[in-house]
Amino acid sequence: MRLSVWPTAFQPWSELLASARHAETTGWDGVWVADHFMGMPGGPFPPETPTLEAGSLVTALGAVTERVRIGTLVYGNTYRHPAVLANMAATADHVCGGRFVLGMGAGWQENEHEAYGIELPPVGERVSRFAEAVQLVRSLLTEPVTTFEGKHYRITDAPCEPKPVQARLPIMIGASGDRMLGITARHADEWNTWGLPDHIAERSAALDRACEAAGRDPGEIARSCQAVVLFTADDAQGEELMSRPGRPIMAGTPGRLRDVLARYAEIGVDELIVPDATFGTGQAKLDGLARFAAEVAHDYR
């Protein structure tokens, strides 16, 4: 199982770079960046929090690292035309020498769309747009030119050059609902969602069924997930945190966290992505990541 770091974009570049360099030099497998322009009311980062832009970040990180995979977790489809996104992805793959993973999702954060005047269609239309976008992006990344005539997108004899370094640049889809899992089954190389092991096992089984319906081998799609990680003084406190609604929390003593990690591996998770935000800032953050690697994840490194 791969282990990767998710440096929050709600921190200064120097802090984000420190997390990425720590991952690069201490044996982590990847660095992922979320695609947002602001925080949200009621979330851990309020809307006024300074926020770095994902496309610029992944390209910069690709230039200052040599080993780790670099990916987006995940680009919101509503924010960029898919033809623009395909060209961004190909460029990022060249900058990082063939280590880029294009994470895509349908888009969801309401306050961003309202603030910037970006249309956020109803869920059904959003999913339909996304289904077209994935096909369009894949064609641009692989075909000499692309003509696409869909309900939502139309392009004519469009190039995307240079092509990515990778013969097949991996597309990861962030998805949880059944319709999105159907798109994942048809078009993705990797799948991602938030969740603790029981939820991931259930949604992974749903993805298997979607693959069977699409006539695709489920084993062709890698599985990844993330949860907030918290060390606690005792496991009772950890259990209480893990039972709370909202963002999934992986909490407890190192021994308890090892049990959760083993369960992820048992259900077939190929990659666990660890957010750095809960470890603090500066050296405390790097120490938290190092502690997780040494005391929890040592059997998977």
pLDDT digits 0-9 by tens, 263-289: 999 999 999 999 999 999 999 999 999
pLDDT digits 0-9 by tens, 224-262: 999 999 999 999 999 999 999 999 999 999 999 999 999
Amino acid 118: pLDDT = 98
Q: Tell me the average pLDDT across 65-78.
A: 98
DSSP 42: T
Q: Which amino acid makes up residue 279? A: F
Q: Which of 108, 269, 257 is nearest to 195 (CA)?
A: 269
- Which positions ≥6 away from 170 have C-beta within 8 Å? 101, 102, 189, 190
Q: Tell me the average pLDDT across 12-33.
A: 98
In a 3-state reduction of DSSP, which class is residue 218?
helix
pLDDT digits 0-9 by tens, 101-115: 999 999 999 999 999
Peptide bond into 162 cis (omega under 30): yes
Q: What is the DSSP string of 246-293?
A: SS-EEEE-HHHHHHHHHHHHHTT--EEEEESGGG-SHHHHHHHHHHII
Statement: residue 6 has pLDDT above 90? yes
In a 3-state reduction of DSSP, which class is residue 166?
coil
In a 3-state reduction of DSSP, which class is residue 187?
helix
pTM for this entry: 0.97
Q: Which of 288, 283, 229 is nearest to 15 (CA)?
A: 283
Statement: residue 301 has pLDDT above 90? no
C-alpha 86/C-alpha 15 separation (Å) is 28
C-alpha 58/C-alpha 56 separation (Å) is 6
Lookup result for tokens 């994935």: 134
Peptide bond into 74 cis (omega under 30): yes
**Parallel/antiparallel/unpaired status of strands 100-105 and 228-231:** unpaired
CA 197 from centroid of its chain's CA atoms: 17
- Cα–Cα distances in angstroms (integers) from residue 114 to residues 47, 96, 108, 219, 300, in the given order: 12, 34, 11, 39, 42
In a 3-state reduction of DSSP, which class is residue 12?
coil
pLDDT digits 0-9 by tens, 133-183: 999 999 999 999 999 999 999 999 999 999 999 999 999 999 999 999 999
